[in-house]
């Protein structure tokens, strides 16, 4: 329990540091944060009133603590351009990003684990010699480029998938759940998921393969062999179970990492998620919205790092959790 | 197994740098993948050097046909090997000149990441204590920044320049190399030859840079090779999102240009497929080289 608390504090502190860094980064940016609100028609008094209204007349450290206190209540201010609460906007698009990330990761990991175990079994064959460099190439390709090629081939050329967005124009739904489970939504989701899964499968595949190769030489596998178990039962029942542990941890980390990496995929497919929101907010200098989107991504990352730490403790009893180094 | 010598068993006498360097140069000759990686790097380096000769047309020049009309969206042919963009620019020339910016971004990021990572790793690992704790907490913090969002926010606000992209990549990547090098230093500093140097009265810095650092060099190299690829992909992604340096011709800028000018719906594959392939080749070359060094110098690190 003490360890859980220790990992929690560790990740929470890292998040606090990121938050602090972000606050000062945004404050030290060229131009005042009010550039979007103040125009030439306002006189000096009105400008001053505006500064006071936003609390920008207070000293920096005071602003910092107000900012932290507001964050803890989920209050991130108003978007400069949409004039709506940042939190509302974020919560609107968050489900789209989560669905995209989780669907892709689950597909990528199921495929990666099976293919990785299979490749370990095929060690030394020509299949391995072709497949491993090919998998490395999918990890080397920029995600958005895979998306562009698939988009040109499967959407514009073959016409099988829509070219972007999350729903066809003119579609209306009673509530969010109905929208998400509609065929139209799934149809729009397919191509981004395919792209992301193609990019993500490399890590679990290579991890699983090398773990399997390592596990195959361990004593308990030799033992199983000596007991006369079939090769299949050894692979599935003994080797794969143990080789899976690091992959499970990688999955949790993957959720956090690809929430950030989705920025480009969401842009290619105009998928209304948090990454695309960040890109749009940064390009129009909508500071509060950009800051909120960034923090949301950082929060998911920190949360998932914590989950990965926990999984590691629960799943692998061999790891001693004493102090490192 | 003979080449898989213990990384931490340096030459019995003299400076370990030369034997380590000799083994580093010899490695690609033994590993076919690493050899392919080195060849790809060499090829792109030559293309970057001789870009002017390989592509006589200015990549940003707007070209016209003999009839005086804009040479827009010309399909690949004898005159333009990869065709032209919608604004009448030669795609082949852009691809060739893009090599220059890719290598500039990749190499500068790699040098910064390897230098900072190595120095931090050496100092943290050797001196330990508070120095170590502070440096590793900073590393933890840098690792908890979401990668691409951070680069976007930094370049979006500090200004879209290639040097800002390199800076952001360096800020995010040095902790990985620093951590691994630190843990390697932790084992190296307990070795007998380091103990011997200490007994003879060598100063801490002398032990660090003369006796330990040369044995770390292959690891720095592994992380430099990985950083080249990451920096190029990041530059491409950031350019694609519209936060790139609009004055430089890069593969990422080409992809963004193709994407926003509807090259996808027109099926101009010759415009957007080649830059992606070039990126894959450079990044894969980095993977192959780093894998080769890991297998020869740090067999235990494989599979990480």
The confidence score (pLDDT) of residue B112 equals: 93
Residue B302 confidence (pLDDT): 44
Partner A contacted by B229 (CB < 8 A): yes
Q: In this complex, which of B229, B279, B302 lies closest to A145 when CB atoms are compared? A: B279
Residues of chain A contacting B302 with CB distance shorter than 8 Å = 210
CA distance A246 to A211: 8
Q: How near does any CA of chain A get to the CA of B125, in Å?
A: 9
Rounded Cα–Cα distance for residues A136 and B288 (Å): 9
**What's the gap in Å between the CA of B35 and the closest CA on chain A?**
14
Q: Cβ B148–A148 below 8 Å, yes or no?
A: no
Option in A206, A207, A260 nearest B148 (CB): A260
Taking alpha carbons only, the member of B278, B96, B275 closest to residue A148 is B275
CA A281/CA A289 separation, integer angstroms: 6
Contact A16/B at CB under 8 A: no
Report the number of secondary-structure helices (H) and strands (E) in chain B: 12, 0
Backbone angles phi, psi at A313, to 5 degrees: -70, -45
- A17 SS3 class: helix
pLDDT at B7: 46
Distance CA A141, CA B281 (A): 9
Question: Which residues 157-216 in chain B show a CB within 8 A of chain A?
Answer: 157-158, 183, 186
DSSP string, A72-124: HTT---B-TTT-SBHHHHHHHHHHHHHHHHHHHHHHHHHHHHHHHHHHHHTTT
pLDDT for residue B9: 46
With left for phi above 0 and alpha for psi between -120 and 50, is residue A31 left, alpha or beta? left
| Cβ contacts of B199 within 8 Å, gap of 6 or more | none
Residues 114-153 of B with CB under 8 A from A: 132, 140-141, 143-150, 152-153
- Residue B299: per-residue pLDDT: 55
Q: Scan residues 260-299 of A and list those with Cβ closer than 8 Å to B.
A: 260-261, 263-264, 267-268, 275, 278-279, 282-283, 285, 290, 293-294, 297-298
The answer to whether the Cβ–Cβ distance between B259 and A148 falls below 8 Å is: yes
In this structure, what DSSP letter does residue B90 have?
B
Residue B303 touches partner A, C-beta closer than 8 Å:
yes
Question: In this predicted structure, what is the pLDDT of residue B115?
Answer: 92
**Tens digits of residue pLDDT in A250-277:** 887 788 777 777 888 888 888 888 888 8
Q: Do B147 and A260 touch (CB under 8 A)?
A: yes
CB contact under 8 A, B241 and A207: no
- β-partners of residue B64 are B70
- The residues that bridge with A85 in the sheet, in sequence order, are A78
Check CB contact under 8 Å for A137 and B284.
Answer: yes
- Predicted confidence at residue B120, as pLDDT, reads 92
Determine whether A291 is exposed, middle or buried from the number of CB atoms within 10 Å of its CB (0-12, 13-18, 19+): buried
Which residues of chain A fall below pLDDT 50?
319-325
CB contact under 8 A, B146 and A297: yes
pLDDT tens track for A141-154: 888 888 888 887 87
Give the ipTM of the model, two decimals please. Answer: 0.80
User: Whole-prediction pTM value?
Assistant: 0.81
Answer for the pair B24, B220: CB distance below 8 angstroms, yes or no: no
pLDDT at A179: 66
Among A6, A152, A307, most B C-beta atoms within 10 A, so best to mutate, is: A152
CB A305 within 8 A of CB A256: yes
* Cα gap A37→A42, rounded to integer Å: 10
Scored b (16 or more CB within 10 A) or e, A33-59 reads beebeeeeeeeeeeeeeebeebeeeee
Whole-number pLDDT of residue B116: 93
Q: Tell me the C-alpha distance between A149 and A194, whole Å.
A: 12
Q: Which residues in chain B are contacts of A142 at CB distance < 8 A?
A: 233, 236-237, 240, 252, 255, 276, 279
Closest-approach residue (CA) in chain A for B258:
A148
pLDDT at A313: 74
pLDDT, mean of each 10-residue run, chain B (304 residues): 42 63 74 84 87 74 68 69 72 82 89 92 88 87 84 80 86 87 85 80 81 83 85 88 81 84 75 87 87 68 41
């Amino acid at each position: 329990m003490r360890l859980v608390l220790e990992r929690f504090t560790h990740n929470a502190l890292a998040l606090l540091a990121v938050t602090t860094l972000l606050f000062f980064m945004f404050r030290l940016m060229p131009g005042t944060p009010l550039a979007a609100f103040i125009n030439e028609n306002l006189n000096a008094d009105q400008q001053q009133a505006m500064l006071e209204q936003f609390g920008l007349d207070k000293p920096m450290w005071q602003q910092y603590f107000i900012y932290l206190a507001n964050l803890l209540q989920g209050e991130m201010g108003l978007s400069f351009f949409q004039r709506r609460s940042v939190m509302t906007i974020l919560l609107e698009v968050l489900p789209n990003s989560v669905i995209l990330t989780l669907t892709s990761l689950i597909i990528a990991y199921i495929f990666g684990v099976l293919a990785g175990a299979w490749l370990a079994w095929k060690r030394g064959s020509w299949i391995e010699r072709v497949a491993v460099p090919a998998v490395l190439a999918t990890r080397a390709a920029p995600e958005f480029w895979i998306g562009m090629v698939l988009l040109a081939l499967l959407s514009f050329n073959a016409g099988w998938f829509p070219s972007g967005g999350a729903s066809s124009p003119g579609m209306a739904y009673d509530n969010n759940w109905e929208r998400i489970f509609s065929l139209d939504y799934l149809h729009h989701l397919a191509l981004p998921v395919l792209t992301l899964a193609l990019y993500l499968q490399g890590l679990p595949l290579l991890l699983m393969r090398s773990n399997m190769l390592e596990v195959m030489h361990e004593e308990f596998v030799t033992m199983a062999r000596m007991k006369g178990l079939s090769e299949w039962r050894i692979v599935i029942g003994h080797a794969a179970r143990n080789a899976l542990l690091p992959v499970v941890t990688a999955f949790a980390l993957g959720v956090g990492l690809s929430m950030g990496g989705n920025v480009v995929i969401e842009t290619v497919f105009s998928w209304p998620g948090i990454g695309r929101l960040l890109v749009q907010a940064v390009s129009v200098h909508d500071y509060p919205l950009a800051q909120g989107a960034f923090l949301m991504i950082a929060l998911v990352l920190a949360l998932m790092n914590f989950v990965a730490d926990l999984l590691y403790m629960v799943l692998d009893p061999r790891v001693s959790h004493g102090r490192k180094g | 197994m003979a080449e898989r010598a213990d990384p931490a068993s340096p030459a019995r006498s003299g400076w370990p740098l030369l034997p380590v360097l000799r083994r580093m140069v010899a490695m690609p000759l033994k590993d076919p993948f690493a050899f392919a990686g080195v060849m790809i790097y060499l090829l792109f380096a030559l293309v970057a050097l001789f870009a002017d000769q390989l592509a006589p047309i200015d990549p940003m020049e707007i070209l016209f046909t003999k009839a005086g009309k804009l040479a827009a969206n010309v399909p690949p042919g004898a005159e333009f090997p990869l065709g032209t963009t919608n604004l009448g620019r030669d795609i082949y020339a852009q691809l060739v000149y893009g090599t220059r910016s890719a290598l500039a971004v990749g190499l500068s990021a790699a040098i910064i990441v390897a230098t900072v990572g190595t120095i931090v790793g050496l100092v943290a690992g050797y001196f330990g204590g508070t120095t170590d704790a502070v440096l590793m907490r900073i590393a933890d913090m840098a690792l908890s920044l979401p990668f691409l969002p951070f680069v976007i926010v930094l370049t979006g606000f500090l200004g879209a320049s290639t040097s800002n992209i390199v800076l952001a990549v360096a800020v995010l990547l040095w902790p990985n190399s620093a951590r691994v090098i630190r843990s390697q230093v932790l084992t190296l500093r307990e070795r007998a030859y380091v103990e011997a140097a200490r007994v003879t009265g060598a100063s801490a810095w002398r032990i660090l840079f003369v006796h330990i650092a040369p044995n770390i060099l292959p690891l720095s190299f592994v992380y430099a090779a990985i950083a080249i690829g990451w920096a190029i992909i990041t530059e491409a992604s950031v350019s694609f999102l519209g936060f790139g340096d609009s004055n430089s011709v890069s593969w990422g800028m080409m992809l963004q240009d193709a994407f926003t000018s509807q090259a996808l719906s027109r099926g101009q594959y010759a415009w957007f497929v080649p830059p992606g392939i070039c990126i894959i080749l450079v990044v894969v070359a980095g993977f192959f080289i780093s894998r080769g060094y890991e297998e020869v110098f740090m067999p235990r690190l494989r599979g990480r």
